[in-house]
Structure formats: structure tokens, C-alpha cells
Structure 1
């Protein structure tokens, strides 16, 4: 029996959350080792566990895998969520990168001064409405999923992005009926539905305690 993947990161969303989502969607149970102190982080550095001295890191299949996209692409490939051919993969990658760009705008605002947060959230809304969501709305015109009409990791990342936008702007997603339908359908996929239930390993929005820990560990 294969050992469960072990996820090394802070006890919060950040760059690890899409990895949690993808493992959950694939039905893969995983363990987490939270990095709460500078000493824990330095131990990982001393052990040579962090390729570029960065988190997240996932222990899986006898490897210590760093870099978020490398981790995600490995998981997607292993669990048949990365398209049927090279052309489908590059389309999946484009959709994922777009969703990540939008998500990054949301994640970054938590670390901004209070005086800048409102402006950043308005930018999130503007980009979601005018740049990112129209692309996904068009892609879902004649199919249930973004690529090849089967679930890929692009769909998992898109659902995460939709829910993140809803948390800060609940009036955006209703402007896109196909995205609204996509959210409702994909949220009912059994593995994803389980991950969305209270008590799962899905992490909440960043709070002051989480931000303080990240700043303390990474010293910024």
C-alpha cells in the first residue's frame, strides 16, 4: 500500500491550497506537517528538502517535490486529470495560469496594508468581470468541463477560483450563468463535495494569526 503524500506548508491556503484541492478531487488522502516556526523552516533547509529554499513541498512516491506547478502537474498526470494529448495539456495549462493570476490578486491582498486592501479587491472584481471569467464562460458554452469535456485539473483550479472570488465579491459569479452552473455541478462531484464539507482539510481565508506566522517564519 502506498504511503499517503505528506504536505509541508503553513496551516493556511497560500500556494498549497490548490494542491490540497487536486489531491482531494483525485480521492487521495494526505497528511500535513505544518510549518509554524522559523526553526522548522530552517530544519527543512538544512535537510536539503526545499529545492529553491521555498515552500510548499510535498513528499510523494519517494520524492520531495518542490514548486507548486511541478507538484500539481505530477498529481494531475498520475491521476488522469491532464488531458488526453499534448494539445489538451497546453490548453489546460493556459486556463490554469489564468485562474492562478486571478487567485494571486486575492491572496496578495491579505498581506497588504489596510489602506491598500480595498483598492486591490476592486481590482480583483474588475479583472474577474472583464478579463478572466469571460474566457471561462466562453469555454463552457458547449461542454460541461473546460477541456475535452472531461474533468481536468483546470476545472478543479477554476472551481477554487470561483469560490475565492465569491468570498470577496458575492455579486460577480451570478453575472456568468455558465460559471454558476459549473460551480454547482462540480461541487457535487463526490470527492470534491467531501472536501467542501466542514471539518475537511480545506483551509479558511487568511486571518491575522496566519499572516503573522508566515511573516515570522519567512522573516519579511
Structure 2
């Protein structure tokens, strides 16, 4: 029996949360080793476990994989969530998993970054996230879902998992946006009922809550910024 993947990160969302989502969607159980101190982080650096001195890092299949997208692409490929062929991964025609993922990550980053901003800037950042969601990102996903249930190839891919995470994250800060996009609303309801995802959305799962003051303080202390 294969050992469970081990996720090394802070006890919060950040760059690890999409990895948790994807493993959960694939039905893969995983363990977590939280980095709570500067000493733990420095130990990972000394061991050569962090290629660019950055978290997250995942131990999986005898490897130590760092860099968020590299980890996600490996998981997606292993569990048949990366399209049927190269064109579905990277080409805009017919559709592109990688482009959709990058767009969702751009929007997600606008939300995640506001937690580390001065109080005077947080509101502006969230308004920017709302503006970009309404005018730039969500219209693309709404159009993509016009005649099919999923973004690419009419089967669940990691682009769908990342999109669902982004939608739910947006609802936490702006609950008036998703109803503007009926196909995204329908997509959210349908994909949330997929058994593995539904389990991950239940209380008590390894899904992490919105960042709080303790999480932010830990990240700042460990990374010293």
C-alpha cells in the first residue's frame, strides 16, 4: 500500500490549499506537517527540501516536490485530471486547462494577498478583486460553461477544482458576485455535490478556514517579513 502524501506548510490556506483541494477531489488521503517555527523552516532548507527556499513542499511517491504548480500538475496527471491530451492542457482551441487555472489563480491571489496588507489597503484590494472578477475572470468561465458541465473535455479536471475553490473564496468576501453568473452558480452547486469534494467541504475536514491573525503572525515570523 502506498504511503500517504505528506504536506509541509503552515496551518492555513495559502499556496497549499489548492493542493489539499486537488488531493481531496481525487480521493487521496494525506497527512500534514505544519511549519510553525523558523527552526522547522530552516531545517527544511538545510535538508535541501525546498528548491527555491519556498513552501509548499509535498513528499509523495518517494519524491520531495516543491513549487505549487509543479505539485498540482503532478497530482493532476497521476489521477487523470489533466485532460485527454496536450491540446486540452495548453491550447486555447478547443479549451485550455492551464490557461483557466492561471486565470483562477490570478483572481485567487488578489484575495489571499489582502490578508497581509495594512488595514488601510485591505478594502481597496477586495474591491479590486471584485472588479476583476466581474469584468475579467468570471465572464470567461461563464462563457466556457455555456454548453458543457466542466471547463475542458466535459470531464472533471484540476481546472474545475481550482475554479470551485476560487468561487467559494470569492463568496467569503463578496457574496453578491456569483449570482450574477448563473452558469457559475450552477457549476458551484453541481461540483460541490461530487462525493469526494462534498466530503472535503464538510466540517472537520482538512480544508482550512480563512486566514486569521494567528496564521498571519506565524507566516511573518517563519518567513521573517
Aligned-pair distance for 1:209?
A: 0.4
Deviations 1:6-55 (A, max 9, x none): 00000000000000000000000000000000000000011111111110
Aligned to 2:24: 24
* 1:217 aligned onto 2:218: no
Counterpart Cα distance in 1 of 2:80 and 2:161 = 13
Aligned-pair distance for 1:98?
A: 0.0
Secondary structure at the residue paired with 2:166? Answer: helix
Counterpart Cα distance in 1 of 2:120 and 2:19 = 31
Counterpart Cα distance in 2 of 1:32 and 1:163 = 23
TM-score after normalising by structure 1:
0.99
Counterpart Cα distance in 1 of 2:76 and 2:151 = 15
* 1:169 aligned onto 2:168: no
Deviations 1:181-217 (A, max 9, x none): 0000000000000000000000000000000000000
Counterpart Cα distance in 1 of 2:143 and 2:174 = 21
Within a 5 Å distance, the mapping from 1:173-188 to structure 2 comes to 173-188=178-193
Counterpart Cα distance in 1 of 2:85 and 2:59 = 27
Secondary structure at the residue paired with 2:152? Answer: coil
TM-score after normalising by structure 2:
0.97
Aligned-pair distance for 1:59?
A: 0.1
Number of residue equivalences: 219
Secondary structure at the residue paired with 2:32? Answer: strand
Counterpart Cα distance in 1 of 2:64 and 2:16 = 14
Counterpart Cα distance in 1 of 2:221 and 2:101 = 30
Secondary structure at the residue paired with 1:33? Answer: strand
Deviations 1:52-95 (A, max 9, x none): 111000000000000000000000000000000111011x0000
Counterpart Cα distance in 2 of 1:53 and 1:118 = 31
Counterpart Cα distance in 2 of 1:109 and 1:52 = 24
Counterpart Cα distance in 2 of 1:87 and 1:143 = 18
Secondary structure at the residue paired with 2:116? Answer: coil
Aligned to 2:123: 118
Flag structure 2 segments of 5+ consecutive residues without an equivalent.
91-96
Aligned-pair distance for 1:163?
A: 0.2
Counterpart Cα distance in 1 of 2:161 and 2:44 = 29
Counterpart Cα distance in 2 of 1:187 and 1:137 = 17
Counterpart Cα distance in 1 of 2:158 and 2:126 = 26
Aligned-pair distance for 1:142?
A: 0.1
